[in-house]
Structure formats: structure tokens, C-alpha cells
Amino acid sequence: MPQSIENRHNSFGQFLRQWRDRRGLSQLDLAVMSNVSQRHISFLESGRAKPSRAMILELATVLDIPLREQNVMLTAAGFAPVYSESDLQDPQVEPIRKALDFILHKQEPYPAVVIDRYWNLLQSNRAATNLLNFLIDPQILQPQFECINLMRLMFNPQGLRPVVANWQEVAGHLIRRVHREAIVEGQSEKSIALLNELLAYPDVPQSWRDLQWEWHAPLLTVSFIKGDRQFNFFSTIATLGTPYDITLQELRVECLFPADDITAENMRKLQAG
């Protein structure tokens, strides 16, 4: 049965209240930041007032709500979604593909990858492929990880976990990131499923089930060791500026840089080999 107008408004109000709470804002805080009255915010959350599309988008901007979730809020209020979700092979995103190819190529001889918001590997440069195939036997990698997810790869005992010398430190940092991303994007089913899957792997500490906001050193280095070769990397993560497409907003480019001369030399040998 189609949702009634009143139920749609109430549903939007619930979304608005959830996102306001998630951002740690009071109704007065949100009212001041969005330049509307606190009473109007209260009426929107209770369903007593109908939001305009412009008001929804303004509040979503103030609350820094991802584009995917903005579409959900618009639909809940009875409006059509405004943000598209392109395929990376679509002709209109060709400039973006070229930019990604340029970044990956320029990162050689060091690894770089393109991932989506669930850490699925979409694209990689030659250095990243070479490093992964060196750390994990391709005969194991391909059957076990047909669709490569970098988080699963890090936590799975048949993945990268045996060759990460500081796995406890790195995995602890990553699981907190997954926790935070699940909160930021609104506890979507996929993000919660990924979090629970990672926590279910063997020997994952029970304490990691709680989101802990701990101080850490300014830079975290991941150390891979296999045989007589060691690779120590720190990474940067880049996103596209002000995208108006869901797919493009969720893209991330992660570049790994050598933390020492030994790593730089080992990467050069790996590329040459």
C-alpha cells in the first residue's frame, strides 16, 4: 500500500532526528546553523510541518549527509531523488576515469588503488598488483578473493594477515575506521554486515566490538614481511571534490608511499622482476 502523506512526513522527521543526533547537535544548534527557527526544526521532526525540497537539501548539507542518504530523505518526504549513481564505464564520467588512470600511473613504482565505500577494489596500478601477488600466492588469492575487498584481505587468515608484522595495530585502526564509517553513512546494512564479518574472523579481540576513540601517533605505518623482503608503507586517501553523483562521491584513491629506503628499493626490485 502506498505510504500516506502524513507517514512520509513522519518518516522524513525520523531521518532528520537520527542524523541530527548522529552529528551530536541539538535542535537549536541545527536551527542556528541552517538559519531557520528551532520551532520549524521541531515541527519537521514531529511531522507537523512539510519540508520543501530546498529545505531538505539545505539541512542535509549542514548535517554533511552523504548523497546516497540524501536521496533516501527526499524519497521519505515524497520527492524524487536528485542524485544519480553512475557506472564508471558511462561516457559522461570518462574525464574521471582518465584522472584516476593518471593518478595510478604517476604513483608507480609504488602501489595505488581505487576502492568504493565498502573497500571493494575497483582499480589498481601495476605496483599494487605486483605487491599483492608477491605477498599472497595468486593460486590462493584468485579462488578465495574473486572480488577483492581490502578489509577482508587484511583480516582473513588466508589473506594479508600472516604477512603484516604489526597486524594488531593496523587491524585495530582499520576496524575503528569501519565503525566510524558505518556511523557516518547511517548504519547501512552493507556497512554493518562488513563490520560484523570482520569482527567474526578468528582471534579478533572482543574489545574491538566497541568503538573506541583513542589517541594514536600522527602516522600509522603498515609493515609487510615475506621471506627476506620487508615493505613499510604509509598511505594517503583522496576523494573527488564536490561531486554530485553517488558513485563519484564514494570513490577513494589510496596511495602507498615507502616509509624507508629499504621499501623503496624492494619495490623497484619487485617492479623490475
Same-domain pairing of 129 and 192: yes
Number of domains in the chain: 2
Q: What tens digit of pLDDT does each residue of 250-265 get?
A: 999 999 999 999 999 9
DSSP string, the chain: -PPPHHHHHHHHHHHHHHHHHHTT--HHHHHHHHTS-HHHHHHHHHTSSPPPHHHHHHHHHHTT--HHHHHHHHHHTT-----B---TTSGGGHHHHHHHHHHHHHHTTS-EEEE-TT-BEEEE-HHHHHHHHHHS-HHHHHHH-SS-BHHHHHHSTTTTGGGBTTHHHHHHHHHHHHHHHHHHTT--HHHHHHHHHHHTSTT--GGGGS-------S---EEEEETTEEEEEEEEEE--SS--BHHHHH-EEEEEEESSHHHHHHHHHHHH-
Same-domain pairing of 71 and 104: no
Given a cut of 90, whether residue 190 has pLDDT beyond it is no
> What domain range is 40 assigned to?
5-76
Same-domain pairing of 163 and 264: yes
248 located within any domain: yes
Q: What tens digit of pLDDT does each residue of 65-96 get?
A: 999 999 999 999 999 999 999 998 889 899 99
pTM for the model stands at 0.84
Same-domain pairing of 145 and 229: yes
Mean pLDDT of the region 48-52: 93
Same-domain pairing of 127 and 66: no
pLDDT of residue 241: 84
CATH code of the domain containing 57: 1.10.260.40
Mean pLDDT of the region 9-16: 83
| Last residue of one domain, picked from the residues 45, 76, 107 | 76
Mean pLDDT of the region 171-197: 83
pLDDT of residue 180: 83
Q: What tens digit of pLDDT does each residue of 137-166 get?
A: 877 766 665 688 999 999 999 899 999 999
pLDDT of residue 2: 41
